[in-house]
Amino acid sequence: MKNMKLFPKTFIHCLTLIISVLLTALLLLYIFLPTFYRQYKQKKISEDTSWLASELGGISVSDLPSALSGYAINKGYGYTAEYENGDIICNVSAGIGFAFSEIDTGDDFSVNVDMELAESRAAFHTADGKTVILIMNTSLQPIDDAVSVLLLLIPPLLLICIILSALVSWIYARSIVKPVKAITDATVQMTSLSPDISCNVTGRDEIGILSQNINEMYKRLLFAISDLERQIDAVGRAEQEKLDFLLLASHELKTPVTAVRGMVDGMLYNVGVYKDRDRYLLECQRELEHLTDLLCRILESSKMDISAAARNTSVTDIGDLLKRVSMPYLAIAQSREIRITVNTENTLFAVIPAELIEKVFSNIFSNAVKYTDSGKSICIYIENNTVIIENECAPLTAEELSHIGEPFYRPSNTEEKHNDGTGLGLYFTDKLLSACGLSYSFSPYEKGMRFILNF
Tens of each residue's pLDDT in the chain, 455 residues:
566 777 788 888 888 888 888 888 888 888 888 888 888 888 998 999 999 989 888 888 888 888 888 888 888 888 899 988 888 988 887 654 443 434 444 444 444 444 578 889 999 988 888 899 999 988 877 777 777 777 888 788 888 888 888 898 888 888 877 888 888 888 888 888 887 888 777 777 777 888 888 888 888 888 899 889 888 988 887 777 676 666 656 655 665 777 777 778 888 888 777 788 888 888 888 778 877 877 776 776 665 566 666 777 888 898 898 888 888 777 678 777 888 888 888 888 988 888 888 888 888 888 888 888 888 899 999 988 899 999 888 888 887 777 666 666 666 554 444 444 555 667 778 877 887 888 888 888 888 888 999 98
C-alpha 259: how far from chain center: 65
Hey, what's the torsion of the CAs at 398, 403, 409, 414, to 10 degrees? 10
- Position 363: which residue type? N
Edge-to-edge strand list for the sheet holding 448-454 = 339-343, 377-383, 386-392, 448-454, 439-445
Last residue of a domain, one of 135, 154, 171: 171
Number of residues assigned to the chain: 455
Instruction: Judge whether 177 lies within some domain.
Output: no
In angstroms, what CA-CA distances link 307 with 249, 321, 432? Answer: 22, 21, 9
By residue range, what is the domain housing residue 374?
306-454
Neighbours of 163 (CB within 10 A): 10
Q: What is the pLDDT of residue 251?
A: 54
Residue 6's nearest CA partner among 174, 128, 120, 139 is 174
Instruction: Judge whether 285 lies within some domain.
Output: no
Q: What is the pLDDT of residue 419?
A: 44
Question: H or E stretch including 138?
Answer: strand 131-139
Give the CATH number of the domain where residue 334 resides: 3.30.565.10
Instruction: Judge whether 30 lies within some domain.
Output: yes
- Position 50: which residue type? S
Question: H or E stretch including 282?
Answer: helix 277-303
Instruction: Judge whether 108 lies within some domain.
Output: no
Residue 65's nearest CA partner among 82, 89, 93, 83 is 89
Q: What is the pLDDT of residue 99?
A: 38
Alpha helices by DSSP H, listed for 57-99, are 64-75
Task: State the Cα–Cα distance between residues 270 and 279, nearest whole angstrom.
Answer: 13
Q: What is the pLDDT of residue 104?
A: 46
Indicate yes or no: pTM above 0.85: no
Last residue of a domain, one of 171, 190, 209: 171
Residue 376 φ then ψ, to 5°: -95, -170
Same domain flag for 310 and 162 = no
Q: What is the pLDDT of residue 111?
A: 43
Total of domains in the chain: 2
Q: What is the pLDDT of residue 248?
A: 56
Q: What is the pLDDT of residue 67?
A: 86
Residue 370's nearest CA partner among 356, 400, 387, 391 is 391
Instruction: Judge whether 129 lies within some domain.
Output: yes
What's the N-to-C CA distance of the chain in angstroms? Answer: 68
Residue 147's nearest CA partner among 30, 32, 38, 36 is 30
Residue 98's nearest CA partner among 115, 77, 81 is 115
Q: What is the pLDDT of residue 387?
A: 92
Hey, what's the torsion of the CAs at 114, 115, 119, 125, to 10 degrees? -40
Instruction: Judge whether 190 lies within some domain.
Output: no
Last residue of a domain, one of 152, 171, 190: 171
Angle at 387 between CA 385 and CA 390, to 5 degrees: 145
Instruction: Judge whether 296 lies within some domain.
Output: no
401-404 long-range CB contacts below 8 Å, 24 or more apart?
401/442, 401/443, 401/444, 404/442
Instruction: Judge whether 423 lies within some domain.
Output: yes
Neighbours of 313 (CB within 10 A): 15
Residue 442's nearest CA partner among 423, 455, 429, 424 is 429
Pairing verdict, β 117-125 and 78-83: unpaired
